[in-house]
Amino acid sequence: MKKTLASKKFVVAVVGATGAVGAEFIDLLGLNGISADRVRLFASERSVGKAILVGGQPVMVESLKPDCFRGIGIVFFSAGKGIAKAWAPQAIEAGAWVVDNSSAFRMESAVPLIIPEVNPDALDQCKGPSIVAVPNCSTIVALVAATPLHRVAKVRRMTVATYQAASGAGAAAMRELESQAQAFVEKSPMRTEIFGRQYLFNCFSHNSAIGPEGYNEEESKLLYETRKIWSDASVRITATCIRVPVLRAHCEAIGLEFETPLSQARAREILGAAEGLEVVDDRINNRFPEPLHAAGRDPVLVGRIRADWSLPPGMGIQMFVAGDQIRIGAALTGWRIAELIAARMTH
């Protein structure tokens, strides 16, 4: 994707600068040539005054306050939906674009929900500074892999089983998993404040609230966000979302049923040429996507590509994917959205 944000002169701000996703976004600013004098950082009061390095130069953390977004071009929010609801409209009023990583605005009809590899043209509905929503991490990882096949054969039904890392619950959950590993080695009691149970050597239903139909919020997001991103209310989707003791990369087992036939060989060819994907599908050596190999990397890894034997020949594909939840599942997608916004800004 063409780099345009670094060539612009406006200021970029990060709200939630001390969180896992905010920190990753700040790293991306430095790696892509955004100098410290073009960055402002915001976080909770306990972090105000802390110095964070941007491209090797310190930037002081500020507190959110009235008119704090004046003179800023793009604000990246990664501080939860309550903060986004309260402060994103103020950023828009100040003339800034907002890239929001929370769930606050995703399903609002006036807010584009964008995965740059999938539906960049959704930004066209914005005629000036607006809120642009980053989809949920599990939706991003699934659709970067599924959309190239959907474009060719049209997906009529998608089944997803997710294996979700601690990072999706924040930096504190990652620290708790690490502390449980240390406690196991030391034979001491394990801390269980985040999930209320042992996470190490365990897996359990995703910790989001379960609705009256029996689906949790994470599973519902996969349905409703996919329909919005694909602009297709007819696609049928079901998901089961599980927490597994992995630090930062989500895995997903995805089954696709097509409207028109698509061979296994053609599916592999399409995935191999798709933006944002890396095929890892070594059947001889049993090497397929793993969270350890996806962590800290940009692409979604895809493998276990095979025909779905439960469907007529050519009508379904099964595959397994892994993607870094903090990076492609949040910060990197936010960065790429900011690049799209910068490409259309004139100042």
Tokens of 198: 């042992």
- The pTM score is 0.96
Query: What fold is seen in the domain 5-135+330-344?
Result: Rossmann fold (3.40.50)
| Bridge partners, residue 205, by sequence | 242
Is 203 one of the catalytic residues? no
The active-site residue, picked from 137, 150, 206, 251, is: 137
Say yes or no to pLDDT of 9 above 90: no
Cβ–Cβ under 8 Å, residues 40 and 59: yes
Mean pLDDT along residues 148-172: 97
Q: In this predicted model, what pLDDT tens digit does every residue of 184-216 receive, in sequence order?
A: 999 999 999 999 999 999 999 999 999 999 999
Res 67: pLDDT = 94
Architecture of domain 138-325: 2-Layer Sandwich (3.30)
pLDDT band for 322, please (50, 70, 90 cuts).
Answer: very high
Res 347: pLDDT = 45
Helices and strands in the chain, H and E counts? 8, 14
Q: What percent of the chain has pLDDT over 70?
A: 99
The active-site residue, picked from 150, 206, 250, 251, is: 250
Say yes or no to pLDDT of 3 above 90: no
Say yes or no to pLDDT of 8 above 90: no
Output the DSSP codes for 30-74: HHTT--GGGEEEE--GGGTT-EEEETTEEEEEE---TTTTTTEEE
pLDDT band for 346, please (50, 70, 90 cuts).
Answer: low
Q: In this predicted model, what pLDDT tens digit does every residue of 35-77 receive, in sequence order?
A: 999 999 999 999 999 999 999 999 999 999 999 999 999 999 9
Distance CA 190, CA 245 (A): 14
Is 150 one of the catalytic residues? no
For 179, the enclosing helix (H) or strand (E) is helix 171-186
Cβ–Cβ under 8 Å, residues 341 and 123: yes
Alpha-carbon 281 to chain mean position: 23
Q: How many CB atoms lie within 10 A of CB 187?
A: 6
Res 249: pLDDT = 98
Closest among 335, 109, 125 to 233, alpha carbons compared: 109
Mean pLDDT along residues 140-166: 98
Structural domain spans, the chain: 5-135+330-344, 138-325
Say yes or no to pLDDT of 345 above 90: no
Cβ–Cβ under 8 Å, residues 335 and 140: no
Amino acid letter for position 324: D
At which residue do the structure tokens 């491209």 appear?
55
Res 152: pLDDT = 98
Mean pLDDT along residues 220-226: 98
